[in-house]
Amino acid sequence: MLLETHRAEIETILSRYDSRRSAVLPLLYLAQDIYGHLTEAAIREVAAILDLPPTDVFEVVGFYTLFYNRPVGTWVLQVCDDVPCCYLGAEELIAALKQSLGIAEEQTTGDGMFTLQRVKCLAACDRAPVLQANLDYVYDVTPERVNALLANLRARAAEARQRGVSGRFAEDFEWGPDGALVPIDRAAPYRPRHFPAAPSPAPPEPEPVPEADAGHDRPADRKASPL
């Protein structure tokens, strides 16, 4: 089916490599976007196009984190919880998202709109807290911006379904001066980032070293942070 509907694109991809097998990642991205996620049939189809044993392609799908072999939401939200983001508001962001969406990590909302995941460093540590929505970067997502973000993404659901989750048509986003989420114009000249002149608000005092077992009567779902 892919070969019938996307022959030109597939031929272009294949022409870039001296070995057909090298096209497996781009073809899986394509199949994922066309079918919504990588169904068993989709994986077998990619294997057939590349003349590969299906197990080789199943193995690739299992290894790389950006391939989904189960249904995912229209928007896959991947929040960085690595160092340094986790000390710059990422945990608070994840908590706010979980609360607004009513789901835990690795779950999808009942309406099929959002899947929430924790991911490792997204290479945008200077714009923490940061997430990707279908591989579009969204920078500086403080918890207060969660509602505006989710409203914006819901309004663009049709566009997201058309583009797919694999980032083949990605664009990145930041917050405009009026608090709206705006796409970054990649052709615009470089503008230095504006930092507030006054030093940022004082951070919380460090927690004292625990006197008694800090974990004792904490509810099971509350993680101690940062110790």
Partner 1 sequence: MGLSEHIVMRELDVPEINDFEVYCRHGGWEAYRMALKEKNPADIVAMVKESGLRGRGGAGFPTGVKWGFLPKGVYPRYLLCNCDESEPGTFNNHQIIDRNPHQLIEGVALSAYAIECHTAYIYMRGEFAAAAITLERAIAAAYRAGFLGRNILGTGFDLDIYVHRGAGAYICGEETALMESLEGKIGQPRLKPPFPAVAGLYGKPTIINNVETLANVPRIVEKGVAWYRSHGTEKSPGTKCFSLSGHVNRPGNYELPFGVPLRELIESPEYGGGMRGGRPTKIIIPGGASAPWLTHEHLDVPLDYESVAAAGSMLGSGAVIVLDDTVKAPHVAYKMDEFFKHESCGKCTPCREGTHWLVRVLHRIAEEGHAVPEDIPTLHSIYNQMAGNCFCLLGESAVMPIKSALALFPEEFEAIVAASRRHPHGNGHGDGRHEPVIPLTTKR
> Site residues for partner 1, window 46-65 (CB under 8 A)?
50, 52, 56, 59-60, 63-65
Binds ligand FES by CB under 6 A, chosen from 124, 135, 138, 150: 124
Binds ligand FES by CB under 6 A, chosen from 125, 140, 156, 172: 125
Binds partner 1 by CB under 8 A, chosen from 8, 110, 123, 177: 123
Choice between 122 and 149, CB closer to partner 1: 122
Considering only the stretches 5-13, 31-39, 82-90, 199-207, report the one whose residues sit in contact with ligand FES under the rule CB under 6 A: 82-90
User: Helix-strand-coil percent breakdown of the chain, rounded to 5?
Assistant: 40, 10, 50
Binds partner 1 by CB under 8 A, chosen from 178, 201, 219, 221: 201
CA distance 56 to 109: 32
Choice between 111 and 159, CB closer to partner 1: 159
CA distance 88 to 129: 6
Query: H helices then E strands: how many in the chain?
Result: 8, 6
Q: Is residue 2 within 8 Å of residue 31, measured between CB atoms?
A: yes
Work out whether 128 is an interface residue with ligand FES (CB under 6 A).
yes
Work out whether 119 is an interface residue with ligand FES (CB under 6 A).
no
CA distance 82 to 186: 27
The closest of 83, 112, 79 to 96, measured between CA atoms, is 79
Contact residues for ligand FES, defined by CB under 6 A: 80, 82-85, 121-125, 128, 130
